[in-house]
Amino acid sequence: MNRRQFLTGFSAAVNAQMLKPSRAAGCACAPMLAAAQAGRWPAPRIKVTNMKAIGVSLTPDSDRPYVFVKIETDQGVVGWGEATLEGKAGSVIAAVHDFREFIVGEDPMKVEHHWQSMYVHTFYRAGPVLGSAISGIDQALWDIRGQVLGLPVYKMLGGPIHPRGVRGYYHARATTREQLTALRASAEQLGVTCFKSGIPGYYEWIEGRASIRRAVDAMTRLREGLGEEIDIGIDFHAKTSPAVATILCKEVEPLNLLFIEEPCPPENVKAMARISRRTTTPIATGERLIASFSCRELIEMNVVDILQPDINHVGGISALWKVGAMAEASGISMAPHACEGPVGGLATLHVDAAMPNFLVQEICSGIQPEFKEKVWEEWLGFPAMRMKEGYFPLPEKPGLGFDLTEQALAKYPFAGTRPMARVFHADGSVAEW
Amino acid sequence: MPISIAITDLSAHAVREPVSRREYVLVSVRTDAGLAGVGEAAGSSAAVMAAVEAAKPFLVGRDATAIETVRRWFAAREGGFAAAAAQAALNMALLDLTGKLARAPVYEVLGGPTRFKARAATSLEGAGVEQLRRSLEAARAAGFRAMIVPLAAPPRPNQGQAFVRGVRRLLDRLRQSGGDDIDFILDAQGALTPGDSQMLARELESFHLLWLEEPCPSLNLPAVAKISGESATPVGFGRAVLSNGEFQDLLRLDAIDVLRPNIGLHGITQIRKAAALAETYYVAVAPFHRGGPVATAACLHLAASIPNFFLQEVPLPAADQDRRMRSELASAPLETVEQGFLKLPAGPGLGVTLNADALEKYRAN
């Protein structure tokens, strides 16, 4: 053996060693993973052969390219999930690829096991990049499980509760009296029972009368324009401080809104509790929360009336169902967020259909389909996430219940990561939007 | 394969073990696809049978997999323990059907397996060190490595040192004869005052119980919280709790280390939800189960579907006749323990086939 062969052999031996569990031995606390298991898993009837993260940009300048996860198996069954994280597409694609070793070659049926392993063995646990990657993989695994078992996902979860499907809402996208009157007429015609809207402008730490009046007037106009029968949610989008949010929530109490969403940013539960305590307007939040752990304090401290986790961030079907279970024990309703692509949207409907405490499902679309909705229909062959008589119909096929191909997506190639909107106050300082 | 099956009929059968006199109700749900599902309710009172019967008009004709609609129906009604037990049995039966429809074990329908075997424990029978020792030997020979020691209710509340030291001596002797690889759970059966419980919990800190089980009656939840708040001995609680809201309060109060929902009062789905709550408090689930073999199967599927399962108790009757009845009823070697662990049932569904002759032979009324 010459010197070169010796070195190659040596490095191969080192590499083989490193692939064993002892590779973590750089840390004194590294466990002997192999020794911990005594016994074996049943032989899998199906194995994962490949996992892809596919970026899709509907327009070249999109700040929220979709990230779809496709998992292939040795039985020909293919599962789809969505890991879209607005403004961070590249990071999520990388994070999905980082989980390759957790999934490829494994039994796709063990979805809770894989969820735990991805979350716990990442050591740092939560965070939106990790949460979104796990979400996409989790949805794709549920899609596969359903197809293997011959059941739609909602049936595996004990649904459907309502045969008509899942009640939903569109975004109002109407502000003037004329626009609102037209919207109300369309809603009556189409059977839509609920809308959501934002509040105008950006907000300083404390606001004076002019800004407060402008926001209250906008909300009042919505109620007057849409009438008593239609439910209205208002999204503050965390652009208000607790001080401003409290004033606004109190001012609009007589409007009996369905909820006010994200009245302040999500990190400080006590701050949101302070708003919630001082108003009877129901408070909703949750789209930025990752894993069921992040909802515990909101529930425990009686902060929220409605939780709105996003199936593409919270940890997929597995985590959304758990948040629903936790909320149910406290009488909190579920109104999941959905503002990304059609895969996550359709996945959410399955969980919604099986939650006794489900209230209403969002879709970030207007009452009339536009470009985005037409592309979705072109991909999936049916008007995905469009309501009939105010309800999203449930898929009847096994798994998530749709067919999607890479070829269909190829028309909208990934155009790279773009940041989300960046807004600034008059003095140049950073503002929330 | 059809993806909808409708319920056509259901029936409830109370059975009784010949020697232990332990009773439980087995519920069978039949469907238009020819498949039948089976479940088990805690207790065997006429009230449980009546509660199952009362749900029949709602259930017949309904989609057998729409499990949440059934629970909602029960949730909208009063009914206490009997209704809870009926709901539990129907939940198991409908999941059994869903699994059979999918030709898969229930744990696979629910996203498992999360493990390939389940750690086991059993309650010792008898009172006094000699009887308990013999029971421990039998349990050890049957493969168990974790023992639940029943604590005889003290004659008076607020016992002194004699009581506390007596319990400690009893446990020390059992550990001496059992060997170092045996773990213990002390089951106070809800019979102590919170004051007695916390003294005992402190005395047993150095004994390292797996947990102190149901130390006091469920008078109020802060009383339970006080016990675990004053000692490092883990506390398990919840056999009489009927709602996940109450489990949530126990967790919120940092009152417990092991959640003990009764399988025969909740069924699989509700305990999965309680487990989701417990997971966020880093608390384990070890379902309470003193019933029959169908509930054992339900427990094992549950164990293999949740991440925070810790241990499953399984009754091990002392009498041969009772053990024979359990295996005759379920016609599957469900309750075989090896080196302290139970195997997962294979399915489809719960993996249990009810034996009609045995139902008749062991009928309770």
Residues pairing with B343 in the sheet: B117
CB contact under 8 A, B113 and A293: no
- B2 domain-assigned: no
Strand A66-73, strand A78-82: pairing:
antiparallel
Chain B, residues 68-107, CB within 8 A of chain A, namely 68-69, 71-72, 75, 98, 101-104
Taking the whole predicted model, whether its pTM rises above 0.80 is answered as yes
Among B250, B273, B285, B308, the strongest candidate for a mutation testing the A interface, having the largest count of A CBs within 10 A, is B273
Say yes or no: B143 and B89 in one domain.
no
Q: What is the CATH number of the domain that holds B32?
A: 3.30.390.10
Instruction: Say if B291 falls within a structural domain.
Output: yes
Q: Do B212 and B81 have their domain in common?
A: no
Domain count, chain B: 2
Residue B311 sits in the same domain as residue B290: yes
Q: Where in the sequence is the domain holding B60, given as residue range(s)?
A: 7-103+355-361
Whether pLDDT at A8 is above 50: no
- In tens, the pLDDT along A146-203 reads 999 999 999 999 999 998 999 999 999 999 999 999 999 999 999 999 999 999 999 9
Within 8 A of B243 by CB-CB distance, chain A residues are 329
B96 and B125 inside one domain: no
The ipTM value here is: 0.96
Test mutation, A40, A41, A151, A323, chain B, max B CBs within 10 A = A151
Predicted pLDDT of residue B1 = 45
Chain B nearest CA to A205, separation (Å): 33
Q: Does B65 touch chain A (CB under 8 A)?
A: yes
Asked, for residue B165, whether it belongs to a domain, the answer is yes
Question: What tens digit of pLDDT does each residue of B38-85 get?
Answer: 999 998 789 999 999 999 999 999 999 999 999 999 998 888 999 999
**Alpha-carbon distance A364 to A237, whole Å?**
14
Same-domain check for residues B147 and B219: yes
B111 touches chain A (CB under 8 A): yes
| Residue B66 and residue B156 share a domain | no
Task: Please indicate, yes or no, if residue B266 is contained in any of the structural domains.
Answer: yes
Give the gap in angstroms from C-alpha B63 to the nearest C-alpha of chain A: 9
> Within this chain, do residues B74 and B193 fall inside the same structural domain, yes or no?
no
Largest CA distance in chain B: 66
DSSP 3-state assignment of A424?
Answer: strand
**Separation between Cα atoms, residue A138 and residue A80, nearest integer Å:** 9
Say whether A15 sits in a helix, a strand or coil: helix
Catalytic residue among A114, A313, A337, A350: A337
By DSSP bridging, strand B183-187 and strand B146-150 are: parallel
Q: Which residue of A has its CA nearest to B273?
A: A325
Q: Which tens digit of pLDDT belongs to each residue from B189-241?
A: 999 999 999 999 999 999 999 999 999 987 788 889 999 999 999 999 999 99
What pLDDT does A42 receive? Answer: 84
> Is B132's pLDDT higher than 90?
yes
Q: Is A112 within 8 Å of B102 when comparing Cβ atoms? A: no
Higher-confidence residue: A311 or B44? Answer: A311
A350 assigned to active site: no
In a domain, B220, yes or no: yes
Are residue B131 and residue B23 in the same domain, yes or no?
no
**Do B238 and B146 belong together in one domain?**
yes
**What's residue A11's pLDDT?**
41
N-terminal to C-terminal alpha carbon distance within chain A: 67
Unique residue bearing structure tokens 């001012």: A251
How would you write chain B as a 3-class SS string? CCCCCEEEEEEEEEEECCCCCCEEEEEEEEECCCCEEEEEEEECCHHHHHHHHHHHHHHCCCECCCHHHHHHHHHCCCCHHHHHHHHHHHHHHHHHHHHHHHCCEHHHHCCCCCCCEEEEEEECCCCHHHHHHHHHHHHHHCCCCEEEEECCCCCCCCCCHHHHHHHHHHHHHHHHHHCCCCEEEEECCCCCCHHHHHHHHHHCCCCCCCEEECCCCCCCHHHHHHHHHCCCCCEEECCCCCCHHHHHHHHHCCCCCEECCEHHHHHHHHHHHHHHHHHCCCCEECCECCCCHHHHHHHHHHHCCCCCECCEECCCCCCHHHHHHHHHHHCCCCCCEECCEEECCCCCECCCCCCHHHHHHCECC
Domain of B240: which CATH number? 3.20.20.120
Are B240 and B190 in contact by the 8 Å Cβ rule? The answer is yes
Q: Give me A40's structure tokens.
A: 């074996």
The answer to whether position B53 is within a domain reads yes
Residue A78: strand pairing partners? A72
pLDDT, tens digit, 9 for 90 and up, residues A250-296: 999 999 999 999 999 999 999 999 999 999 999 999 999 999 999 99
- pLDDT for A22 equals 44
Mutation pick from A139, A142, A156, A166 vs chain B, by most beta carbons of B within 10 Å, is: A156
**A337 annotated active-site:** yes
Residues B139 and B242 in one domain: yes
Closest-CA distance, B74 to chain A, in angstroms, reads: 12
Residue B219 lies in a domain: yes
Does the residue B348 lie in any domain?
A: no
- B331-349 mean pLDDT: 92
Q: Is the predicted pLDDT of residue A27 greater than 70, yes or no?
A: no
Together in a domain, B257 and B232: yes
- Please indicate, yes or no, whether residues B117 and B96 belong to a single structural domain of this protein: no
